[in-house]
Amino acid sequence: MKIRAVKVIVTCPGRNFVSVKIETDEGIYGVGDATLNGRELAVASYIQDHMIPCLIGRDASQIEDIWQFFYRGAYWRRGSVKMTAIAAIDMALWDIKAKAANMPLYQLLGGKSRHGVLVYGHANGKDLAETVDEVGRYIDLGYKAIRAQSGIPGLAGTYGVSKDKAFYEPADADLPSENIWSTSKYLNFLPTLFSALRSTYGNEPQLLHDVHHRLTPIEAARLGKDLEPYHLFWLEDAVPAELQEGFRLIRQHTITPLAVGEVFSSIFDCQQLITEQLIDYIRTTIVHAGGISHLRKVAALAEIYHIKTGFHGATDLSPITMGCALHFDTWVSNFGIQEYMPHTEQTNEVFPHDYHFAHGYLMIGDKPGHGTDINEALAAKYPYQRAYLPINRLEDGSMFNW
Protein backbone atom coordinates (compact mmCIF):
# COMPACT_ATOMS: atom_id res chain seq x y z
CA MET A 1 0.00 0.00 0.00
CA LYS A 2 1.73 3.13 -1.25
CA ILE A 3 1.31 6.73 -0.12
CA ARG A 4 -0.26 8.58 -3.04
CA ALA A 5 -0.85 12.05 -1.60
CA VAL A 6 -0.44 13.98 1.66
CA LYS A 7 -2.31 17.17 2.50
CA VAL A 8 -1.75 19.70 5.27
CA ILE A 9 -5.06 21.22 6.35
CA VAL A 10 -5.05 24.43 8.42
CA THR A 11 -8.42 25.48 9.80
CA CYS A 12 -9.77 27.82 12.47
CA PRO A 13 -13.26 26.76 13.61
CA GLY A 14 -12.99 29.10 16.63
CA ARG A 15 -9.32 28.19 17.18
CA ASN A 16 -6.48 27.02 14.91
CA PHE A 17 -5.84 23.38 14.10
CA VAL A 18 -3.29 21.85 11.74
CA SER A 19 -4.07 18.36 10.41
CA VAL A 20 -2.62 15.97 7.87
CA LYS A 21 -4.45 13.58 5.59
CA ILE A 22 -2.48 10.72 4.00
CA GLU A 23 -4.07 8.99 0.99
CA THR A 24 -2.95 5.60 -0.32
CA ASP A 25 -3.20 3.95 -3.72
CA GLU A 26 -5.70 1.47 -2.22
CA GLY A 27 -8.18 4.22 -1.40
CA ILE A 28 -7.67 4.02 2.38
CA TYR A 29 -6.75 7.33 4.04
CA GLY A 30 -5.68 8.34 7.53
CA VAL A 31 -5.65 11.64 9.42
CA GLY A 32 -3.32 13.07 12.07
CA ASP A 33 -3.15 16.17 14.30
CA ALA A 34 -0.20 18.60 13.96
CA THR A 35 -1.41 21.47 16.16
CA LEU A 36 1.25 23.31 18.18
CA ASN A 37 -0.59 26.16 19.88
CA GLY A 38 0.75 29.57 18.87
CA ARG A 39 3.32 28.14 16.41
CA GLU A 40 0.95 26.37 14.01
CA LEU A 41 2.42 27.46 10.68
CA ALA A 42 5.95 26.35 11.58
CA VAL A 43 4.68 22.75 11.85
CA ALA A 44 2.57 23.12 8.69
CA SER A 45 5.67 24.22 6.78
CA TYR A 46 7.82 21.47 8.31
CA ILE A 47 5.39 18.86 6.97
CA GLN A 48 4.58 20.57 3.67
CA ASP A 49 8.10 21.60 2.69
CA HIS A 50 10.28 18.94 4.31
CA MET A 51 8.27 15.75 4.86
CA ILE A 52 5.74 15.39 2.06
CA PRO A 53 8.37 15.13 -0.72
CA CYS A 54 9.90 12.17 1.16
CA LEU A 55 6.56 10.47 1.85
CA ILE A 56 5.13 10.13 -1.66
CA GLY A 57 5.51 6.57 -2.95
CA ARG A 58 6.56 5.13 0.43
CA ASP A 59 4.89 1.98 1.85
CA ALA A 60 2.21 3.25 4.27
CA SER A 61 2.41 0.06 6.33
CA GLN A 62 6.00 0.74 7.47
CA ILE A 63 5.13 3.00 10.39
CA GLU A 64 8.28 2.37 12.43
CA ASP A 65 10.62 2.77 9.49
CA ILE A 66 8.94 6.04 8.47
CA TRP A 67 9.20 7.27 12.07
CA GLN A 68 12.92 6.47 12.20
CA PHE A 69 13.44 7.96 8.74
CA PHE A 70 12.12 11.33 9.91
CA TYR A 71 13.64 11.21 13.41
CA ARG A 72 17.16 10.07 12.51
CA GLY A 73 17.09 11.25 8.93
CA ALA A 74 16.60 14.93 9.82
CA TYR A 75 19.96 14.87 11.63
CA TRP A 76 18.62 17.57 14.03
CA ARG A 77 16.93 15.68 16.83
CA ARG A 78 13.87 16.32 19.00
CA GLY A 79 12.25 19.76 19.32
CA SER A 80 8.50 20.53 19.54
CA VAL A 81 8.05 21.49 15.87
CA LYS A 82 9.73 18.38 14.51
CA MET A 83 8.17 15.98 17.03
CA THR A 84 4.67 17.40 16.40
CA ALA A 85 5.18 17.01 12.65
CA ILE A 86 6.33 13.38 13.09
CA ALA A 87 3.38 12.75 15.44
CA ALA A 88 0.86 13.86 12.82
CA ILE A 89 2.26 11.49 10.19
CA ASP A 90 2.42 8.68 12.78
CA MET A 91 -1.24 9.12 13.82
CA ALA A 92 -2.36 9.08 10.19
CA LEU A 93 -0.35 5.91 9.45
CA TRP A 94 -1.77 4.09 12.50
CA ASP A 95 -5.24 5.18 11.32
CA ILE A 96 -4.51 3.63 7.90
CA LYS A 97 -3.11 0.41 9.38
CA ALA A 98 -6.13 -0.03 11.65
CA LYS A 99 -8.56 0.70 8.81
CA ALA A 100 -6.74 -1.79 6.57
CA ALA A 101 -7.05 -4.41 9.33
CA ASN A 102 -10.73 -3.41 9.78
CA MET A 103 -10.11 -2.92 13.50
CA PRO A 104 -10.36 -0.07 15.99
CA LEU A 105 -6.86 1.17 16.87
CA TYR A 106 -6.92 -0.20 20.44
CA GLN A 107 -7.07 -3.72 19.00
CA LEU A 108 -3.78 -3.23 17.18
CA LEU A 109 -2.16 -1.89 20.34
CA GLY A 110 -3.14 -4.92 22.40
CA GLY A 111 -6.88 -4.79 23.01
CA LYS A 112 -9.04 -3.29 25.75
CA SER A 113 -7.75 -3.14 29.31
CA ARG A 114 -10.77 -1.17 30.60
CA HIS A 115 -14.28 -0.29 29.46
CA GLY A 116 -13.98 3.48 29.87
CA VAL A 117 -11.32 6.19 30.20
CA LEU A 118 -11.45 8.16 33.47
CA VAL A 119 -11.22 11.87 32.68
CA TYR A 120 -10.90 15.07 34.65
CA GLY A 121 -12.75 18.26 33.79
CA HIS A 122 -11.72 21.89 34.29
CA ALA A 123 -13.62 23.84 36.94
CA ASN A 124 -12.58 27.46 37.36
CA GLY A 125 -13.85 30.70 38.80
CA LYS A 126 -12.81 34.32 39.24
CA ASP A 127 -12.59 33.84 43.03
CA LEU A 128 -12.83 31.15 45.71
CA ALA A 129 -16.65 31.19 45.97
CA GLU A 130 -17.16 30.92 42.21
CA THR A 131 -14.58 28.11 41.90
CA VAL A 132 -16.27 26.15 44.69
CA ASP A 133 -19.60 26.50 42.86
CA GLU A 134 -18.02 25.44 39.57
CA VAL A 135 -16.57 22.26 41.10
CA GLY A 136 -20.12 21.48 42.27
CA ARG A 137 -21.40 21.97 38.74
CA TYR A 138 -18.82 19.46 37.42
CA ILE A 139 -19.82 16.95 40.10
CA ASP A 140 -23.44 17.38 38.93
CA LEU A 141 -22.33 16.77 35.32
CA GLY A 142 -20.99 13.37 36.44
CA TYR A 143 -17.26 14.07 36.65
CA LYS A 144 -15.38 11.93 39.19
CA ALA A 145 -12.18 13.95 38.89
CA ILE A 146 -11.99 17.76 38.64
CA ARG A 147 -9.16 20.21 38.18
CA ALA A 148 -9.74 23.43 40.17
CA GLN A 149 -8.17 26.76 39.09
CA SER A 150 -9.13 30.08 40.62
CA GLY A 151 -8.52 33.79 40.39
CA ILE A 152 -6.09 34.91 43.12
CA PRO A 153 -6.88 37.82 45.47
CA GLY A 154 -4.79 40.83 44.43
CA LEU A 155 -4.04 39.58 40.88
CA ALA A 156 -6.05 40.75 37.86
CA GLY A 157 -6.16 37.42 36.05
CA THR A 158 -4.27 34.17 35.89
CA TYR A 159 -3.82 30.89 34.03
CA GLY A 160 -6.82 28.60 33.91
CA VAL A 161 -9.58 31.12 34.60
CA SER A 162 -11.77 31.47 31.54
CA LYS A 163 -14.30 33.96 30.29
CA ASP A 164 -16.48 31.20 28.87
CA LYS A 165 -17.05 28.54 31.53
CA ALA A 166 -17.53 25.67 29.07
CA PHE A 167 -14.64 26.31 26.66
CA TYR A 168 -11.31 27.58 27.97
CA GLU A 169 -9.12 29.01 25.21
CA PRO A 170 -5.91 30.65 26.40
CA ALA A 171 -4.59 31.65 22.92
CA ASP A 172 -6.72 34.76 23.15
CA ALA A 173 -5.09 37.53 21.07
CA ASP A 174 -3.27 38.21 17.78
CA LEU A 175 -0.29 39.43 19.81
CA PRO A 176 0.53 37.96 23.25
CA SER A 177 -1.54 39.47 26.06
CA GLU A 178 0.23 40.06 29.39
CA ASN A 179 -0.61 38.66 32.85
CA ILE A 180 0.93 39.75 36.16
CA TRP A 181 2.07 37.12 38.67
CA SER A 182 2.86 37.02 42.38
CA THR A 183 4.11 33.74 43.84
CA SER A 184 3.50 34.83 47.43
CA LYS A 185 -0.14 35.82 46.75
CA TYR A 186 -0.67 32.46 45.07
CA LEU A 187 1.00 30.36 47.79
CA ASN A 188 -0.95 32.15 50.52
CA PHE A 189 -4.27 31.64 48.75
CA LEU A 190 -4.23 28.15 47.24
CA PRO A 191 -4.55 26.00 50.42
CA THR A 192 -7.67 27.97 51.42
CA LEU A 193 -9.27 26.99 48.10
CA PHE A 194 -8.66 23.27 48.58
CA SER A 195 -9.69 23.45 52.22
CA ALA A 196 -13.01 24.98 51.09
CA LEU A 197 -13.44 22.33 48.38
CA ARG A 198 -12.91 19.42 50.79
CA SER A 199 -15.17 20.89 53.47
CA THR A 200 -17.92 21.48 50.86
CA TYR A 201 -17.71 18.24 48.85
CA GLY A 202 -15.99 15.75 51.19
CA ASN A 203 -13.35 13.20 50.26
CA GLU A 204 -15.02 11.51 47.29
CA PRO A 205 -14.25 13.70 44.23
CA GLN A 206 -10.68 13.49 42.93
CA LEU A 207 -9.21 17.01 42.90
CA LEU A 208 -6.33 18.19 40.72
CA HIS A 209 -4.48 21.47 40.27
CA ASP A 210 -2.15 22.91 37.60
CA VAL A 211 0.60 25.27 38.83
CA HIS A 212 1.56 25.93 35.19
CA HIS A 213 5.34 26.07 35.71
CA ARG A 214 5.35 28.97 38.21
CA LEU A 215 7.31 27.81 41.27
CA THR A 216 10.86 26.92 42.26
CA PRO A 217 11.44 23.46 43.74
CA ILE A 218 11.43 24.71 47.35
CA GLU A 219 8.25 26.73 46.74
CA ALA A 220 6.65 23.66 45.16
CA ALA A 221 7.71 21.64 48.21
CA ARG A 222 5.91 24.15 50.48
CA LEU A 223 2.78 24.03 48.34
CA GLY A 224 2.78 20.22 48.17
CA LYS A 225 3.10 20.07 51.95
CA ASP A 226 0.38 22.69 52.54
CA LEU A 227 -1.99 20.73 50.26
CA GLU A 228 -1.35 17.31 51.84
CA PRO A 229 -4.45 17.44 54.11
CA TYR A 230 -6.65 17.78 50.98
CA HIS A 231 -5.05 14.75 49.24
CA LEU A 232 -4.91 15.90 45.65
CA PHE A 233 -4.95 13.37 42.81
CA TRP A 234 -2.02 15.39 41.48
CA LEU A 235 -0.19 18.70 41.46
CA GLU A 236 0.75 19.50 37.85
CA ASP A 237 3.75 21.32 36.37
CA ALA A 238 4.84 22.62 39.77
CA VAL A 239 8.15 23.87 38.32
CA PRO A 240 9.50 24.24 34.80
CA ALA A 241 11.07 20.85 34.13
CA GLU A 242 14.14 21.51 32.02
CA LEU A 243 16.12 20.58 35.14
CA GLN A 244 14.81 17.08 35.79
CA GLU A 245 16.88 16.59 38.95
CA GLY A 246 15.16 19.67 40.42
CA PHE A 247 12.21 17.42 41.23
CA ARG A 248 14.31 15.58 43.85
CA LEU A 249 13.97 18.53 46.16
CA ILE A 250 10.16 18.57 45.88
CA ARG A 251 10.00 14.82 46.44
CA GLN A 252 12.08 14.99 49.63
CA HIS A 253 9.44 17.20 51.25
CA THR A 254 5.99 16.14 50.16
CA ILE A 255 3.78 13.12 49.43
CA THR A 256 1.44 15.15 47.17
CA PRO A 257 1.52 13.25 43.84
CA LEU A 258 3.28 15.08 41.01
CA ALA A 259 2.44 15.23 37.30
CA VAL A 260 4.50 16.82 34.55
CA GLY A 261 5.28 16.62 30.84
CA GLU A 262 2.70 18.32 28.60
CA VAL A 263 5.41 20.48 26.97
CA PHE A 264 7.92 17.62 26.53
CA SER A 265 8.74 16.43 23.04
CA SER A 266 10.46 13.10 23.71
CA ILE A 267 11.36 10.36 26.17
CA PHE A 268 14.67 12.12 26.79
CA ASP A 269 12.82 14.99 28.50
CA CYS A 270 11.44 12.65 31.16
CA GLN A 271 13.98 9.83 31.42
CA GLN A 272 15.43 10.95 34.76
CA LEU A 273 12.04 12.00 36.12
CA ILE A 274 10.85 8.47 35.47
CA THR A 275 13.85 6.33 36.35
CA GLU A 276 14.44 8.19 39.66
CA GLN A 277 10.69 8.01 40.45
CA LEU A 278 10.53 11.79 40.85
CA ILE A 279 6.97 11.99 39.46
CA ASP A 280 3.76 9.95 39.65
CA TYR A 281 2.10 10.80 36.32
CA ILE A 282 3.63 11.48 32.92
CA ARG A 283 1.62 13.92 30.77
CA THR A 284 3.66 13.84 27.56
CA THR A 285 1.20 13.60 24.69
CA ILE A 286 0.80 11.85 21.38
CA VAL A 287 0.62 15.07 19.33
CA HIS A 288 3.63 16.87 20.81
CA ALA A 289 5.99 13.93 21.31
CA GLY A 290 6.28 11.86 18.19
CA GLY A 291 2.91 10.13 18.05
CA ILE A 292 1.66 6.75 19.14
CA SER A 293 4.93 5.04 18.19
CA HIS A 294 6.99 7.18 20.59
CA LEU A 295 4.43 7.42 23.42
CA ARG A 296 4.37 3.62 23.62
CA LYS A 297 8.02 3.77 24.64
CA VAL A 298 7.43 6.50 27.21
CA ALA A 299 4.53 4.54 28.75
CA ALA A 300 6.54 1.32 28.82
CA LEU A 301 9.45 2.99 30.61
CA ALA A 302 7.05 4.64 33.07
CA GLU A 303 5.33 1.33 33.81
CA ILE A 304 8.54 -0.20 35.17
CA TYR A 305 8.84 2.66 37.69
CA HIS A 306 5.21 2.66 38.93
CA ILE A 307 4.42 5.84 37.02
CA LYS A 308 1.05 6.20 35.30
CA THR A 309 -0.09 8.12 32.23
CA GLY A 310 -2.12 11.33 32.46
CA PHE A 311 -2.15 12.75 28.96
CA HIS A 312 -2.62 16.42 28.19
CA GLY A 313 -6.06 17.04 26.69
CA ALA A 314 -6.69 20.77 26.39
CA THR A 315 -8.76 22.14 23.49
CA ASP A 316 -5.64 23.03 21.49
CA LEU A 317 -5.15 19.29 20.96
CA SER A 318 -7.62 18.48 18.19
CA PRO A 319 -10.27 15.75 18.35
CA ILE A 320 -7.87 13.64 16.25
CA THR A 321 -5.35 13.62 19.12
CA MET A 322 -8.16 12.95 21.59
CA GLY A 323 -9.35 9.99 19.52
CA CYS A 324 -5.83 8.52 19.38
CA ALA A 325 -5.26 9.19 23.09
CA LEU A 326 -8.50 7.42 24.03
CA HIS A 327 -7.53 4.29 22.09
CA PHE A 328 -4.12 4.40 23.80
CA ASP A 329 -5.73 4.98 27.23
CA THR A 330 -8.16 2.11 26.67
CA TRP A 331 -5.24 -0.23 26.05
CA VAL A 332 -2.24 0.94 28.12
CA SER A 333 -1.68 -1.05 31.31
CA ASN A 334 -0.39 1.85 33.43
CA PHE A 335 -3.23 4.23 32.60
CA GLY A 336 -3.84 6.93 35.23
CA ILE A 337 -6.28 9.56 33.96
CA GLN A 338 -6.99 11.60 30.81
CA GLU A 339 -7.45 15.39 30.74
CA TYR A 340 -10.66 16.42 28.96
CA MET A 341 -11.89 19.84 27.87
CA PRO A 342 -14.79 19.49 25.44
CA HIS A 343 -14.33 21.13 22.04
CA THR A 344 -16.90 23.57 20.71
CA GLU A 345 -19.72 22.39 18.44
CA GLN A 346 -18.02 24.23 15.54
CA THR A 347 -14.80 22.22 16.10
CA ASN A 348 -16.69 18.94 16.49
CA GLU A 349 -18.39 19.49 13.13
CA VAL A 350 -15.03 19.88 11.39
CA PHE A 351 -13.67 16.78 13.18
CA PRO A 352 -16.45 14.16 13.39
CA HIS A 353 -15.55 11.47 15.95
CA ASP A 354 -17.00 8.43 17.65
CA TYR A 355 -16.05 9.02 21.33
CA HIS A 356 -18.47 10.38 23.92
CA PHE A 357 -18.61 11.35 27.61
CA ALA A 358 -20.67 9.29 30.03
CA HIS A 359 -20.66 9.31 33.87
CA GLY A 360 -17.12 10.64 34.29
CA TYR A 361 -15.59 8.51 31.52
CA LEU A 362 -14.86 8.96 27.84
CA MET A 363 -15.99 5.98 25.79
CA ILE A 364 -14.53 5.13 22.40
CA GLY A 365 -16.38 3.59 19.51
CA ASP A 366 -15.53 0.52 17.44
CA LYS A 367 -15.02 2.15 14.05
CA PRO A 368 -11.92 0.91 12.21
CA GLY A 369 -8.99 3.31 12.71
CA HIS A 370 -8.73 5.92 15.47
CA GLY A 371 -12.31 7.00 14.95
CA THR A 372 -11.83 10.71 14.13
CA ASP A 373 -12.09 12.25 10.66
CA ILE A 374 -11.86 15.70 9.10
CA ASN A 375 -14.56 17.38 7.03
CA GLU A 376 -12.34 19.11 4.49
CA ALA A 377 -15.08 21.20 2.85
CA LEU A 378 -16.11 22.61 6.21
CA ALA A 379 -12.47 23.08 7.33
CA ALA A 380 -11.87 25.23 4.23
CA LYS A 381 -14.51 27.71 5.42
CA TYR A 382 -12.42 28.71 8.46
CA PRO A 383 -9.12 30.34 7.43
CA TYR A 384 -6.16 30.54 9.84
CA GLN A 385 -6.21 33.44 12.30
CA ARG A 386 -3.02 34.35 14.12
CA ALA A 387 -3.39 33.70 17.85
CA TYR A 388 -0.83 33.70 20.67
CA LEU A 389 -0.78 32.34 24.21
CA PRO A 390 -0.34 35.03 26.89
CA ILE A 391 2.96 35.87 28.54
CA ASN A 392 3.46 36.44 32.26
CA ARG A 393 5.43 39.12 34.14
CA LEU A 394 6.20 39.61 37.82
CA GLU A 395 4.80 42.68 39.58
CA ASP A 396 8.13 44.52 38.96
CA GLY A 397 7.90 43.86 35.21
CA SER A 398 10.34 40.93 34.97
CA MET A 399 9.52 38.39 32.30
CA PHE A 400 8.29 35.16 33.96
CA ASN A 401 6.81 31.79 33.01
CA TRP A 402 3.23 31.62 31.78
List active site positions.
159, 212
Residue among 269 and 339 whose Cβ is closer to ligand EZ4: 339
Quick one: which of 33, 40, 210, 269 contacts ligand EZ4 (CB under 6 A)?
Answer: 210
Q: Does 210 bind Co ion (CB under 5 A)?
A: yes
Q: In terms of Cα–Cα distance, which of 402, 323, 293 is closest to 37? A: 402
Q: Please report how close the Cβ of residue 109 comes to ligand EZ4 at its closest, in angstroms.
A: 24
Phi, psi of 381 (to 5 degrees): -80, -10
The residue range among 76-84, 108-116, 259-267, 370-378 that interacts with Co ion, by the rule CB under 5 A, is 259-267
Print the binding letters for residues 230-269 with ligand EZ4: x by CB under 6 A, - otherwise.
--------------------------------x-------
Q: How far is the CB of 72 from ligand EZ4 (least distance, A)?
A: 29
The answer to whether the beta carbons of residues 116 and 122 sit under 8 Å apart is no
Total residues contacting Co ion (rule CB under 5 A)? 2
Rounded least distance, CB 278 to ligand EZ4, Å = 19
**Residue 316 found at the interface with ligand EZ4 (CB under 6 A):** yes
CA-CA distance, 11 to 25, in Å (whole number)?
A: 26
Give, as ranges, the residues between 261 and 320 that touch Co ion (CB under 5 A): 262
d(CA 133, CA 155): 20
Cα gap 402→341, rounded to integer Å: 20
Distance (Å, rounded) from C-alpha 83 to C-alpha 51?
A: 12
Other CB atoms within 10 Å distance of the CB of residue 252: 9
| CA-based nearest residue to 289, from 278, 277, 301, 280 | 301
Distance of CA 162 to the CA centre of its chain: 18
Which residue in the set 11, 19, 37, 293 belongs to the binding site for ligand EZ4 (CB under 6 A)?
A: 37
Q: How far is the CB of 3 from ligand EZ4 (least distance, A)?
A: 30
Check residue 170 for interaction with ligand EZ4 (CB under 6 A).
Answer: yes
Distance CA 211, CA 5 (A): 43
DSSP state of 360: T
Residues interacting with ligand EZ4, by CB under 6 A?
Answer: 37, 170, 210, 212, 262, 312, 314, 316, 339, 389
